[in-house]
Amino acid sequence: MQKYKDILNDREDAAIKLRDVIPMQQLKEEEWSIVAVSKGGLELASHIKGKLKNRLEILFLEAIMAPNNPECEVARVSETEEIVLNEELIHAFGIEYDYIYGEAHRKHEEDILSYIYKYRKGNPFANMENEVVLLVDEGSETGSKFMTALKTILMQKPKAVYIATPVLPSDVLELLETFVDDIFFLYDIDDYVETTLYYKHLDTIEDEMIEEILKKENR
């Protein structure tokens, strides 16, 4: 764990290093669509994109927590209402599926729809059919964000899907590799703890920054 502590300065530093492992010329020439799967991922993706004209989007996702443990994620829902379940935890906690689907609907109605109206003026997530898609996040503890995003994107029948993330657990890397065309990363870590540990500075993404990034993309 200590070996990788503070190995990245901030999201901009991570983006600069990721640009060395992402085939940037191919990304530019094939006009890949860059899709962030979190607010932090959006800042990272904007630094990766830089001045390129590739489309940059954010896919809104919300975690569903165990009823008896508000810090334990047992599922995740996307803005298109695709749900990815952690079957092992659901069975371990004895959680009813009705609870999961009910919470997914509530999270979509109360949280995700508000994000869509606030940041995207009510417009739905862009269609990725026949697109080459690069999913981006600043890190991945469990892979649930990427898995939920993948389920959402693959339903739209893209041409290809890639992932870019600076740090992720080794077992999550093995899991995700089976679903995507390639993964661009800097460090896969056996004893992964939490993403913030691997950055010296990982600032909270304020609403103003999200609005600024998305406004710049829509000019």
- For residues 199 and 131, state if they share a domain: yes
Edge-to-edge strand ranges of the sheet holding 33-36: 56-58, 33-36, 132-136, 160-169, 182-189
Are 148 and 209 contained in the same domain? yes
Domain span at residue 150 reads: 2-59+127-217
Residue ranges with strand state E in the chain: 33-36, 56-58, 61-66, 69-78, 83-85, 132-136, 160-169, 182-189
Residue 126, both tokens:
């862009």
∠ at Cα 154 (215, 92), nearest 5°? 105
- The predicted pLDDT at position 216 comes to 81
Which pTM was predicted? 0.95
What are the tens digits of pLDDT across the range 87-124? Answer: 999 999 999 999 999 999 999 999 999 999 999 999 99
Q: Are residues 148 and 201 in the same domain?
A: yes
Same domain, 114 and 133: no
Give the pLDDT score at 1: 54
> Are 68 and 176 within one domain?
no
- Residue pLDDT, tens place only, 63-88: 999 998 989 999 999 999 999 999 99
- Please list, residue by residue across 159-182, b when 16 or more beta carbons sit within 10 angstroms of its beta carbon and e when fewer do: eebbbbbbbbbeebbebbeeebee
CA distances from 193 to 11, 120, 188 (A): 18, 33, 12
Does residue 211 sit in the same domain as residue 156? yes
Residues 164 and 89 in one domain: no
List alpha helices for 62-110, DSSP H.
87-93, 97-107
